[in-house]
Amino acid sequence: MENNQNTAGSMKAAVRSRYGPPEALSVREVPMPTPGAREILVKIHAATVNRTDCAMLTGTPFVYRLFIGLWKPKQATTGTDFAGEVVAVGDAVTAYRVGDRVWGFDDIGLSSHAQYAAILERVAMELIPDKINYEQVVASAEGAHYALNFLKKVKLEAGQKALVNGATGAIGSVLVQLLKHRGLHVTAVCGTPNVERVRALGADKIIDYLQGDFTLDDERYHYVFDAVGKSTFGKCKPLLARGGIYISSELGPYSQNLFLPLFTRFFSDKKVIFPIPFNIKHSLQTMKKLLEEGRYQPLIDRHYALEDIQEAFRYAASGHKIGNLVVKF
């Protein structure tokens, strides 16, 4: 093992032994991980607390437990993304070296809410470009991955009209920017305090959901992206032009967004798509390029110390965070 770090000893990590609320989590001294032959040891500089982390903490929806542990979490330490520095590599690792700055994401967990994490070389991760800092890059993974998976499912054309509900969220704030890059006219739905923030992301028109119901807008759209999953296809249908497409980040009442794609495919001129996210590596590569070109601005709401991670989880679970919450180490 190549090593510039004494990997014996202990470190601080956010750990839990059961699924539960933020109170189930505590910051403790735990043994430092030793990287296996195909793992790298990363000194974590930043991680986010995001909605995927919330699902991992609570073990909901239940079906998610098929991947993360049926009755109790397989991983004691929370955390799905990281940005940091490689401090040791296993003997069989070929792609990374000690001193590399790396960032990565895995929706089934990386135990990255810790000072150090041992990460398998095959996990989706990328080298961090020189001019990009740890915070920027770590806030460009989770929401961005889901937003990119929304867009993989549709054939965007410049000049088309799109509406993004929940434009202040981790997913929505990326969607607004990506849609603008592709030349679409974007209407963004957000709350009063965030109107200027969302305008700065490039939105052409803003609807303040605290002042009125966006589903009553008289514009007709090629796409309605409900990035916060607060609406339904039924409510948004009048907003869609003929051939228009509705995509939500949530399953909707009675998990309807799983069944509506099949039904609307045959029986409606307005369609529903429910994207199953895949290929995280490709998402990271896309975001890395956009960051390097200065064409993407991650939205960061609050910063936390590891010791305050319960508070970060409480805020993330409230459904009111603006973009990303970054834990700094």
Ligand X SMILES: NC(=O)c1ccc[n+]([C@@H]2O[C@H](COP(=O)([O-])OP(=O)(O)OC[C@H]3O[C@@H](n4cnc5c(N)ncnc54)[C@H](OP(=O)(O)O)[C@@H]3O)[C@@H](O)[C@H]2O)c1
Looking up tokens 């974007």, which residue turns up? 186
Binding mask 52-91 for ligand X (x = CB under 6 A): x---------------------------------------
- Residue 249 touching ligand X (CB under 6 A): yes
Considering the complex, what minimum distance in angstroms separates the CB of residue 276 from ligand X?
Answer: 8
Q: What is the DSSP letter of 32?
A: P
Return the range that interacts with ligand X (CB under 6 A); candidates 32-40, 161-169, 180-188, 215-223. Answer: 161-169
Considering the complex, what minimum distance in angstroms separates the CB of residue 137 from ligand X?
Answer: 17
Q: Which of residues 121-160 bind ligand X (CB under 6 A)?
A: 143, 146
Considering the complex, what minimum distance in angstroms separates the CB of residue 63 from ligand X?
Answer: 12
- Residue 327 touching ligand X (CB under 6 A): no
Nearer to ligand X, 73 or 172 (CB): 172
- Residue 199 touching ligand X (CB under 6 A): no
Task: Check if the beta carbon of residue 297 is closer than 8 Å to that of residue 271.
Answer: no
Considering the complex, what minimum distance in angstroms separates the CB of residue 170 from ligand X?
Answer: 4
- Residue 217 touching ligand X (CB under 6 A): no
- Residue number with the shortest CB distance to ligand X? 169
Nearer to ligand X, 224 or 227 (CB): 227
The three-class DSSP label of residue 313 is helix
Nearer to ligand X, 134 or 150 (CB): 150
Return the range that interacts with ligand X (CB under 6 A); candidates 17-25, 34-42, 60-68, 313-321. Answer: 313-321
Q: Give the closest residue to 179 by CA, choosing from 194, 201, 195.
A: 201
Rounded to whole angstroms, the Cα distance separating 33 from 11 reads 9
Q: Give the closest residue to 272 by CA, choosing from 280, 264, 282, 281.
A: 264
Could you say which of 90, 169, 252, 298 contacts ligand X (CB under 6 A)? 169
286 CB-side CA count, 13 A: 18
- Residue 21 touching ligand X (CB under 6 A): no
Query: Beta 116-120 vs 81-89: how paired, if at all?
Result: unpaired
Return the range that interacts with ligand X (CB under 6 A); candidates 2-10, 186-194, 236-244, 282-290. Answer: 186-194
Nearer to ligand X, 36 or 277 (CB): 277
- Residue 250 touching ligand X (CB under 6 A): yes
Considering the complex, what minimum distance in angstroms separates the CB of residue 99 from ligand X?
Answer: 32
- Strands (DSSP E) along the chain, which ranges? 2-3, 10-15, 26-31, 39-48, 81-89, 101-105, 116-120, 125-127, 161-165, 185-190, 205-208, 221-226, 240-248, 271-273, 300-305, 324-328
**DSSP letter for each residue of 160-192:** -EEEEESTTSHHHHHHHHHHHHTT-EEEEEE-G
For residue 251, what are the CA distances in angstroms to 66, 207, 309? 18, 24, 28
The three-class DSSP label of residue 10 is strand
For residue 259, what are the CA distances in angstroms to 87, 136, 255? 47, 37, 7
Could you list the residues that contact ligand X (CB under 6 A)? 50-52, 143, 146, 165-166, 168-172, 189-191, 209, 227-230, 249-250, 277, 319-322
